Every structure is written in C-alpha cells, then in structure tokens.
Amino acid sequence: MSVLQRQKKKKSILPGFGLSLGFTMFYASILVLFPLAMIFLNTASMGWSDFIKTVTDARVVASYKLSFGAAFAAGIINVIFGTIIAWVLVRYHFPGKRFIDGLVDLPFALPTAVAGIALTTLYVPKGWIGQLFTFKIAFTPIGIIIALTFIGLPFVVRMVQPVLQNFNAEIEEASASLGASRMQTFKKVIFPELVPAILTGFSLSFARALGEYGSVVFIAGNMPMKTEITPLIIMTKLEQYDYAGATAIASVMLVVSFFLLLLINIIQWWTNRKFVHS
C-alpha cells in the first residue's frame, strides 16, 4: 500500500458539485448566454457601415437622448424624494407607517402595463392631475419622466433604509456633543454614510428606467423624434420585420446595460471595502 501518494484533486467535500454545475450552466446558457449572444452574432453579420447607419439615424439618436435624459431625470427625482422617504420611514413615527412602508414596493409588484394605463389616465388633459395644469403632461417627455419615476421609486428607498436602520446613533451623539448643529451633523456625519446606498439606488433606478417599456409606452405618445423611447423603436422595427435594425439598436442598448451593471458592481465592491463594519 503506497503511503506517499499524489492526490487527485477532488472538487469538494459537500456533494452535488457536478450535478449542480451541469444543471446551472446548462440552464443559464440556453436561457441567457446563448440568446444574448444572438444579438451580437446577428449584429456582426450586418456589416459595419449598415450598423453605424442604423444606430446613428436621427430618429434613433433622438430616442437615445430621450431615454437617457428621462431616465436620468427620474433617477434624480428618486434620489431626492427616495432619501427623504427613507429618512421619514426610519426616523419618524406616524399612524399607518407600516402600511406606507409596505406600499413603497408597489412598483415592484404592479404589472408595468397596469401602471402605464393608470398613470396615463391621471395625466391626460382631462385626467385628475392633467386638468390642473395648463400644459400637457401625458404624451410629452414630462409624462415619460413621471412614469420612470414611478418605476424606480423603490430602489433608492430600499437601498437607503437599511443603512439608516443600522446607523450607529452614537456617532450622531458624538457629533452633537462636539458642538455641531443638526444640519452640520447631517451634512458631515450622516450623509456621507448614505452616499454609497444612494449611488447604488440611483444606478439601479437608472438602469431599470433605460429599458422600461410597459409603463412608458402608454403615457409617452410615441411620436418619433419627440416622445419615442429606444425600446419602442426596437419594437416598431420588429413589427416591420426589420430584424437587422432592431438587433443593431438592441446591441447598443445591451452594451450600455452591461456597462451599467459593471458600474453597479463596482460601487458595491467599493462600498464593502470602505464601509465594512464588523
């Protein structure tokens, strides 16, 4: 019996590695990897000049500007109000707080189409809110921003809430005991701790808003060059059987999505490094 043996590297002690690896890779490949790869494969077969022509067409570029701009604006609104909402929910007490807290997740639970028609009905010129204003809200970029704000609302709130909840009150007390005013304490002590969560919430809201379709397509009006978001252009091209065009624009959106995903992961990695509390 050989006592000095070179061991063959077995993967692990806990069982199920082979099975779970096989299943997971298979499932993720046929549902995610392979289909997404199709976008790039198809675009590659399109030819560079055709590709550039499609993705830089004036109408398409107008949609980029609209999608980006509206998503950004909605993100900012959500940052401001989301932080306030998180603060109020964590720090203050009022009747029905638990109910309101639960309600914040509504945009996650409600189908986008339902949200879309509800918001449209509210903001059309004859709608409850629409009639209060002299200018049009629905069928303008403002309407789009409102829909995207709805969609992204929970992200900032849910990212900031845990940070506030786990916040060490002693730090605030220390700041106050050293003579800082409430505003100073907030600016210098509390807010910096919230920044990573706010950034993450913003990025999540922004990424979601960029690709959003269902809640926007009803309120937007969908007029080319004015109120047409990029996902809609893809949809339109599909309906016209212009698969190549749809794919080209989709690949641009995908690259942006990947980039955003990377950004979000970097922010979270940076957060964990900087703010790991024991």
Partner 1 sequence: MSIHIKHVSKNFGDFKALDSINIDIQTGELVALLGPSGSGKTSLLRIIAGLEHLDQGAILFDGKEITHVNPKERNVGFVFQHYALFRHMTVFDNIAYGLKVRHKKTRPSKTAITKKVTELLQLVKLEPLANRYPSQLSGGQRQRVALARALAVEPKVLLLDEPFGALDAKVRKDLRRWLRKLHNNFHITSIFVTHDQEEALDVADRIVVMNNGKIEQIGSPEEVYDYPNSPFVYDFLGNVNLFKGRIHKGRLKQGSFEMAVPEFSGRNEEAAVGYVRPHDIHLEKLKTSADAVSATVSHIHVIGPIVQIELKREDAEEFLEAELSKEHYKVLSLQVGDQVYVKPKQLKVFIPEDYSI
Partner 2 sequence: MAGHVPMQHAKTTVKLNHSSLKEPKVVQWLLTFIALAFLALFLVLPLITIFMTAFQKGLETYLAAITNPDALAAIKLTLIVVLITVPLNAVFGVVAAWLITKFDFKGKNILITLIDLPFAVSPVIAGLVFILLFGAQGLFGEWLFNQDIKIVFAIPGIILATLFVTLPFVAKELIPLMQAQGSAEEEASLTLGASGFKTFFLVTLPNIKWGLLYGIILCNARAIGEFGAVSVVSGHIRGMTNTMPLHIEILYNEYQFAAAFAVASLMSVLAIFTLTLKNIIEWKAKHI
Phi first, then psi, for residue 214 (nearest 5°) are -55, -45
The minimum distance between CB 269 and partner 1, in angstroms, equals 22
3-class DSSP state for residue 259?
Answer: helix
H helix runs in 166-229, sequence order: 169-177, 182-185, 191-211
Cβ neighbours for 98, distance < 8 A, ≥ 6 positions apart: none
- Touching partner 1, residues 1-20 (CB under 8 A): 1, 3-7, 9-10, 13
CB-CB contact of 252 with 149 (8 Å):
no
Among residues 10 and 274, whose Cβ is nearest to partner 1?
10
Helix (H, G, I), strand (E, B), or coil: what is residue 12? coil
Q: For residues 8 and 98, which CB has a smaller minimum distance to partner 1 in the complex?
A: 8
Neighbours of 29 (CB within 10 A): 12
What does 129 bind: partner 1, partner 2, none (CB cut-off 5 to 8 Å by kind)? partner 2
CB of 9 to partner 1, least distance (A): 7
Dist CA 141 CA 145 (whole Å): 6
Which of partner 1, partner 2, none sits in contact with 106, Cβ below 5 to 8 A by type? partner 2
Query: In this structure, which amino acid lies at residue 150?
Result: F
Which positions from 111 to 140 touch partner 1 by CB under 8 A, shown as an x/- string? ------------------------------
Q: Cα–Cα distance between 173 and 80 in angstroms, integer?
A: 25
Which is nearer to partner 2, 40 or 136 (by Cβ)? 40
Would you state the structure tokens that stand for residue 241, as one six-digit string?
């059987």
Q: Which of residues 11-70 bind partner 1 (CB under 8 A)?
A: 13
User: Taking CB under 8 A as the rule, does residue 93 contact partner 1?
Assistant: no
> How near is the Cβ of 7 to partner 1 at its closest, in Å?
6
What does the chain come to in residues?
Answer: 278
1 interface partner picked from partner 2, partner 1, none, CB below 5 to 8 A per type:
partner 1
Q: Token pair of 60, please? A: 């398409």
Q: Which does 3 bind (CB under 5 to 8 A by kind): partner 2, partner 1, none?
A: partner 1
Residues that bind partner 1 (CB under 8 A): 1, 3-7, 9-10, 13
